[in-house]
Chains A and B, each alone.
Chain A
Amino acid sequence: MPEPSELFSRSWDVLVAGGGNAALCAAIEAAWSGASVLVVEAAPKFYRGGNTRHTRNLRCAHDEANEVLTGPYPEEELWEDLLRVTGGETDEELARFTIARSKELWDYMNAQGVRFQPSIGGTLSLGRTNAFFLGGGRAMLNALYRRAGRLGVKVVYDAPLTGLEIEDGVFRSATVAHGGRDYRVKAKAFVGAAGGFEANIEWLKEAWGPEAENFLIRGTAYNRGAVLRLLLDAGVKSIGDPRQCHAVAIDARAPKFDGGISTRLDCVVFGIVVNRDGERFYDEGEDFWPKRYAIWGRLVAAQPDQIAYAIIDSRSIDRFMPSIFPPIEAGSLEELAAKLQLDAARLRATIETFNGAVKPGSFDPAALDDCRTEGLSPEKTHWARTISEPPYYAYPLRPGITFTYLGVRVDRNARMIMEGSAPSPNMFAAGEIMAGNVLGKGYLAGIGMTIGAVFGRVAGREAGQHARN
C-alpha cells in the first residue's frame, strides 16, 4: 500500500468520505465501473465503518422465501410499513425507488462476499423481512473492505475530511487531515457518506439544550457531522428535522460512545420505571417493547438529570434477554432505594400505590394481556403485576442516541440538490447523511442499511460515470 501522502497527491476519479456501508457500497460500485477511488475514513482501522459496525440486519423486499428469508415480503408491504413509521414523512418517489432496489440487495451483498445467517426454525423475530448478517455488521464490513481492496479501492484511516472546495455546486477538492497535516485532495466526483452528527454533543445541545450532555451515544464517536455541516454551509439543500434524533432507553452504565446493541434493556414492560424523585411518569405496559423502546429515550430525556430506574421483582428477572450489566439487587425496598440513591419513603409510597392499583388478571407476556392498574396516573395498561417478591432488581436508564435525521437533499441518482433546486453535477450522498429523504421520522428495523446500500450503489455508479465522461 502506497504512503497516504502519496495517495493524497494523486488526482482521483472519485473521492468517498466515510467508511461505513454507504461509503463502501459507493466505492465498490465506482471501482467496478473502472474509476479510481480513494476512501477517507475519519476513524482508525478498528473503528472503521461508524455505525455500520454495530448493525445486525438489513431489510429488503422479496417475492419469495430463500435460504434465509422465511417468506415473501412484497414491495407494497414494505412501503406500507415505511409509511406507518414515518407518518408520511417520506419522499414517495425516493422511498419507492429504495424499496424497488432493495430487492437486488440480497444478491448484491452475497456477490460482495457478505454472508447471512440462516433463520433456523424461524428463531429470528424479523426472519421474514430482514436478512441478518452472519457475525453482525463488522463481519459484513470486513467482507465489503476485502471486496473493495480487490477492486483496487484505496482506503486511508485516521483521515477526517475537514474542508470542501465547492464552486457553484461543483466539487473541486477536499481538505483531509492526516498525521497532523492537512492535504488537499482532488477528485472529479465526490461521494459524501460520512453519517450523521449523533456523536457531536455540542450540536445535539443546540437541538436539545444542556440535557444532551447526559445522553449516551450508542454508536461510533466519529460521526460528528463535519461533512454534513460543510455541505449545508456550501449551499446544499437540507432535509429532515434538525431537532430530532432516534433515542432509545439503554442501560445508564453503558460507555459514553460505542456501547452498541448489548446495552439495550428489555425489562421495562415487566415492572415500573421511576425517575430521580421516585415517581412513575409513563405507562410502562402501553405496547410490546420493540414498539415502545424508541419513545422511552425521549421520555427519560425529559426527566430530571435524564435518568430513570426500571424496577422489577424476582418473578420477572428471567423474562427478558439477559443484560450486559448485572441488575442492582436488594432484599428490601429500603435497601434498593439506598443503592439507587433515591428517597426511600418516596419509592416505597410509589410502589405501594402501584401495587394497590394492580387488578387481577392472567399474565401473558406474549399478548397485550389484561393485567392492568386502575386509578393511577399514569396507569400501567398491560403486564401489571405487583412488585412484591424480593429480591428486587433495578436497572438504571439513560437516553441512548442511535442516529440523527437531518441530512442533505438528493434525487434518485443520489445527486445532492443545491439551494435553488438544481442538482450538483458531481456531488453525491448516501447513507445516514441523506436517510432523512426516505425516513423523515420514526424507525423501521434494518432500513438504515437498505437506504445506505441502495443509495451507495447509485452514488458510486453515477460518480464513476461522471468521472469517466
Chain B
Amino acid sequence: MHATEDLAEADRLMRICNACRYCEGLCAVFPAMEKRRSFAQGDLNYLANLCHQCGACYFDCQYAPPHEFAVNVPKTLSKVRSGSYGLYAWPRALAPLFERNGLAIALVAAFSVAAFIFGFAAWTDAGVLFSAHHGEGAFYRIMPHAAMAWLFGAAFLYAVVALVMGFRAFWADIGAGGTRPQGLSVWQAIRDAGRLRYLDGGGVGCMNEDEQPTDMRRHYHHATFYGFLACFASTLTATFFHYAFGWEAPYSWYSLPVVLGTLGGIGLVVGPLGLMRAKKTRDKTMTDTSRFGMDVAFLAMLFAIGATGLLLLFLRATPLMGTLLAVHLGFVFGFFLTMPYGKFVHGLYRFGALVRYAMEERQGYPVPAPKRRAA
C-alpha cells in the first residue's frame, strides 16, 4: 500500500494514535492527525514535517517499546521526514544526493573551497594574495567585487529556484495544491516557527538524554537559526552599502554589516556545536540515526561558515586574509549550491507544514480551495 516501510510504519502508528489521542495537547501533529481518518503518503509527509522531534510523545506513550504495539512516533516520523526531502528535490535527477548526503555535501564543500583557493592562486598575484591589506576594497584586490557578486548571485539564485520548486512539490504532496497560503496563517506559522513553539513537549521542554526535559536544543537551534538570519542580513546590508552608497568592504568593527556578521557568526559557531553535542548525548531510541550524515553535514557547514567568517574578521589585517577569504567564500559558495539538497530544506518544509496547519485550524479540514473570480 505504501511506497516505503517507513510510510507503512507511520500509517500503522497514526492509526493507533488516532484511537488513543492521549498526546493531543503536546504539539500540532496530533490535532492535525485527528482531522484525518486515513493516512495517504501526503498526509504522512505533512505530519512528519510538522513534527519537531521533541520526543515528548515517546516518553509519554504507554505503548512505546517494549509494549507490543511498539509505538515510537518521533523516530518513525523522523525517518519519514528525511525520506520526504528527496521526493521534492528539483531537479528530480538530484534526489539521490539525499541518499548519502553527508558525503555529497562534504565533497561539494571541499571542491568549492579548493576551487576558491586555486582560483585565487591562479588569478591573483601571489604577492597580493599573501600580503596584508588595509582599507576600503581590501577584499576586492583579491577577488573583484563584480566577479564575487555575479558568482554568488548566480549560485544563490539557483538555490532559490530549486527551493521554490521543492516547496511547490511539497505543497502539492501534502494535499495543499490548489490552495494558497493565507496571510494570517503565514503570520501564525512565522510566530510558531520563530519561537519553535512545538519543540517544548507541550510546555515542559524537549526530551534529550532521558525523560528529564530540558530546553537546551531549543536555545541552540535559536542561536543557529537567528545566527544564520543575522549573517544573511549582514550580507544584504553590505550589498546595499556597496551599491547604494558606494562604500566598499571591509567595514569598520561597529558598522551594521560587521556587527550583524559578528553576532551571526557567533550564533553559527555556538549553535551548531551545541546541537552537535545534544545530538551525541540524545537518547538514540527516539531518533533516526540512519540520517546522521545529513544532519552532521548541515551543522558542520554552518559551523564552518561561522568560524571562517569570524576568523576572517579578526585576521583581516594580516597576510592570512587572502587564504581565509578563499576558504570562507568556498564554504559559503558550497552552502548555496547544496542548500536545496541537504538538511537546510527541513526549515522550509516544516514552515510549509506549519502554514498548512494554521490554515486547517482556521478554515477547517479539508481546507477549502480558493474561489476563482468569475471571469
A18 at interface (Cβ–Cβ under 8 A)?
A: no
Q: Of the listed stretches B16-24, B239-247, B302-310, name the one at the interface; the rest are far from the partner chain.
A: B16-24
User: Which chain A residues lie closer than 8 Å to B201 at the CB level?
Assistant: 135
B204 touches A261 (CB 8 A): no
B20 touches A260 (CB 8 A): yes
B132 at interface (Cβ–Cβ under 8 A)?
A: no
A168 at interface (Cβ–Cβ under 8 A)?
A: no
B249 at interface (Cβ–Cβ under 8 A)?
A: no
* Minimum C-beta distance from A416 to chain B (A): 30
Q: Which of A54, A260, A264 has the most CB of B within 10 A?
A: A260
A322 at interface (Cβ–Cβ under 8 A)?
A: yes
Which residue of the partner chain A has the closest CB to B57?
A135
A366 at interface (Cβ–Cβ under 8 A)?
A: no
Which residue of the partner chain B has the closest CB to A68?
B25
A262 touches B64 (CB 8 A): no
B57 touches A138 (CB 8 A): no
Which residue of the partner chain A has the closest CB to B24?
A117
Tell me the count of chain B residues lying within 8 A, CB to CB, of chain A. Answer: 29
Which residue of the partner chain B has the closest CB to A265?
B19
User: Which chain B residues lie closer than 8 Å to A53 at the CB level?
Assistant: 62
| 1/0 contact string of A119-162 vs chain B (CB within 8 Å) | 00000000000001111111100100010000000000000000
A142 touches B24 (CB 8 A): no
| 1/0 contact string of A87-124 vs chain B (CB within 8 Å) | 00000000000000000000000000001011000000
B373 at interface (Cβ–Cβ under 8 A)?
A: no
Q: Is the interface of B mostly helix, strand, loop or mixed?
A: loop
B26 touches A134 (CB 8 A): yes
| 1/0 contact string of A251-279 vs chain B (CB within 8 Å) | 00001001011111000000000000000
A146 and B16 contact, Cβ closer than 8 Å, known pairs A118-B25, A135-B202 = no
A75 CA to B208 CA, complexed, in Å: 42
B22 touches A324 (CB 8 A): no
A56 at interface (Cβ–Cβ under 8 A)?
A: yes
* Minimum C-beta distance from B122 to chain A (A): 60
B221 at interface (Cβ–Cβ under 8 A)?
A: no
User: Which chain A residues lie closer than 8 Å to B158 at the CB level?
Assistant: none
Which residue of the partner chain A has the closest CB to B64?
A46
A324 CA to B66 CA, complexed, in Å: 18
A323 at interface (Cβ–Cβ under 8 A)?
A: yes
B60 touches A135 (CB 8 A): yes
B212 at interface (Cβ–Cβ under 8 A)?
A: yes
B20 touches A318 (CB 8 A): no
B61 touches A115 (CB 8 A): no
A262 and B20 contact, Cβ closer than 8 Å, known pairs A135-B202, A324-B15 = yes
A367 at interface (Cβ–Cβ under 8 A)?
A: no
A318 and B202 contact, Cβ closer than 8 Å, known pairs A53-B62, A255-B68 = no
Of the residues A261, A263, A318, contact of B22 by C-beta under 8 Å:
A261
Which residue of the partner chain A has the closest CB to B61?
A138
Which residue of the partner chain B has the closest CB to A135?
B60
Docked complex: A391-426 residues within 8 A CB-CB of B = none
Which residue of the partner chain B has the closest CB to A258?
B67
23 interchain pairs, CB-CB under 8 A: A53-B62, A115-B203, A115-B204, A117-B202, A118-B25, A132-B25, A134-B25, A134-B26, A134-B203, A135-B22, A135-B25, A135-B60, A135-B202, A136-B20, A136-B60, A142-B60, A258-B67, A260-B63, A261-B22, A262-B16, A264-B19, A322-B37, A323-B19
The 9 closest A-B pairs by CB, nearest first: A136-B22, A117-B25, A135-B60, A139-B60, A324-B19, A262-B19, A262-B20, A53-B62, A134-B25
Q: A136-B62, A260-B63, A261-B22 are in contact. List 15 more A-B contacts (CB 8 A).
A: A115-B203, A117-B202, A134-B202, A135-B23, A135-B57, A136-B22, A138-B61, A139-B56, A146-B212, A261-B19, A262-B16, A262-B69, A321-B18, A322-B18, A326-B15
